[in-house]
Amino acid sequence: MNTHKTLTQYIVEQQRTNPQSTGDLSGLMNDIASACKKISHLVNRSGIIGIGGVADSENVQGEVQKELDIITNDVMVDHLNWTGHLAAMASEEIEEIIQIPDNQPKGKYLIAFDPLDGSSNIDINLSVGTIFSILRCPEGVTSPTVEDFKQKGTEQVCAGFCVYGPTTMMILTTGNGVDGFTLDQDVGEFILTHPKMTIPEDTAEFAINMSNQRFWEPPVQRYIDECIKGVDGGREKNFNMRWVASMVAEVYRVLTRGGVFLYPLDTKPTTQGGKLRLMYEASPMAFIVEQAGGVCSTGRERVLDITPEGVHQRVPVILGSKNEVERIISYHQE
């Protein structure tokens, strides 16, 4: 019989490797896991309980919100704002920094999250997810502002994401490799099923939204053109293509079988400067991808080295198998 480690055991063991640990990060990780279990349950039942539709509102980026965007944001806030591990939160769905209520203790961490990634996939029953990034609250700060969140991705203490797909999975890094857990729905525990995930250095699979092709810059045009032509265009192999429109599903695929994922800089009026948000999409995924041996760049700079200009800043993202991402970076340098 398989006797896998639970996420709870894993967190306790990680904590014991650091004698100075106060248990705050462990507590926070457990809180996030609880929130994600609740979200998994809600996503799974959304059709039955009638919460799978469009809400009558837009978020800070002017995107139409789904009912579940709002509900999952509330689940995250309600699970995290009273346990004493956080000093403040930032969410894709809320313009301002979310403060901890005055009657609750404040902790030493900050979190930025995308409560429901890929929410355009909700009504068609494809994978969605939750992405999070944990930072330290600067010393002595009791009411964090946007300025306190503007830390480079290299400062992250922990990053992770959940995918609500055929199974619910949690992928985590604290800077010591990447581990994957599967939710055992019967017991309500995440089980360590994918220890030490690594991204193969080479790949023959790319993921990009081809409908934006006319808006891309020349280096990306060149790279994708070469992938499509394959052995007839100078590459040593033919390429396959995927596009799920859920970053969580795409990064999970890259972590398991390699690949490159691109949401590049484009001139499309709605996504100028890139579509994905630095602090709760690009940066946590960059931490995970690098920890698994991959590369994550805008094409011009390492995503983890970007100093954020704002909590909802967008950046271009090119991530995945090392040799392919480095090839794309070299096309940007030529």
Question: Which residues make up the interface to ligand AHG (CB under 6 A)?
Answer: 63, 92, 114, 117-120, 209, 245-247, 263, 275
Parallel, antiparallel or unpaired: strands 109-117 and 86-91: parallel
Q: Name which of Mn ion, ligand AHG, none residue 209 binds, using a CB cut-off of 5 to 8 Å depending on partner kind.
A: ligand AHG
Tokens of 141: 């700060």
Q: Name which of Mn ion, ligand AHG, none residue 245 binds, using a CB cut-off of 5 to 8 Å depending on partner kind.
A: ligand AHG
For residues 94 and 105, what is the distance between their CA atoms, to the nearest angstrom?
Answer: 22
Position 117 contacts Mn ion (CB under 5 A): yes
- CB 118 → Mn ion: shortest distance, Å? 6
Beta-bridge partner residues of 315: 276
Count, residues in the chain: 334
- CB 232 → ligand AHG: shortest distance, Å? 27
Of 115 and 258, which CB lies nearer to ligand AHG in the complex structure?
Answer: 115
- CB 112 → ligand AHG: shortest distance, Å? 13
Residue nearest to Mn ion according to CB distances in the complex? 117
Of 26 and 91, which CB lies nearer to ligand AHG in the complex structure?
Answer: 91
For residues 173 and 31, what is the distance between their CA atoms, to the nearest angstrom?
Answer: 16
Of 106 and 314, which CB lies nearer to ligand AHG in the complex structure?
Answer: 314
Of 11 and 36, which CB lies nearer to ligand AHG in the complex structure?
Answer: 36
For residues 118 and 92, what is the distance between their CA atoms, to the nearest angstrom?
Answer: 12
Calculate the dihedral angle through the C-alpha atoms of 123, 70, 128, 184, rounding to the nearest 10 degrees: -110
Q: Name which of ligand AHG, Mn ion, none residue 98 binds, using a CB cut-off of 5 to 8 Å depending on partner kind.
A: none
For residues 166 and 149, what is the distance between their CA atoms, to the nearest angstrom?
Answer: 34
Q: Which of residues 210-249 bind Mn ion (CB under 5 A)?
A: none
Q: Name which of ligand AHG, Mn ion, none residue 153 binds, using a CB cut-off of 5 to 8 Å depending on partner kind.
A: none
Q: Name the one residue in this structure whose structure tokens are 């991959």.
A: 294
Of 133 and 246, which CB lies nearer to ligand AHG in the complex structure?
Answer: 246
Residue 36 has what DSSP assignment?
A: H
Of 161 and 223, which CB lies nearer to ligand AHG in the complex structure?
Answer: 161
Q: Name which of Mn ion, ligand AHG, none residue 246 binds, using a CB cut-off of 5 to 8 Å depending on partner kind.
A: ligand AHG
Tokens of 70: 């709002």
The region that residue 133 occupies, defined by phi over 0 for left and psi between -120 and 50 for alpha, beta otherwise, is: beta
Whether 31 and 80 have beta carbons less than 8 Å apart is answered as: yes
Position 114 contacts Mn ion (CB under 5 A): yes
For residues 333 and 178, what is the distance between their CA atoms, to the nearest angstrom?
Answer: 30
Point out which residues bind Mn ion (CB under 5 A): 92, 114, 116-117
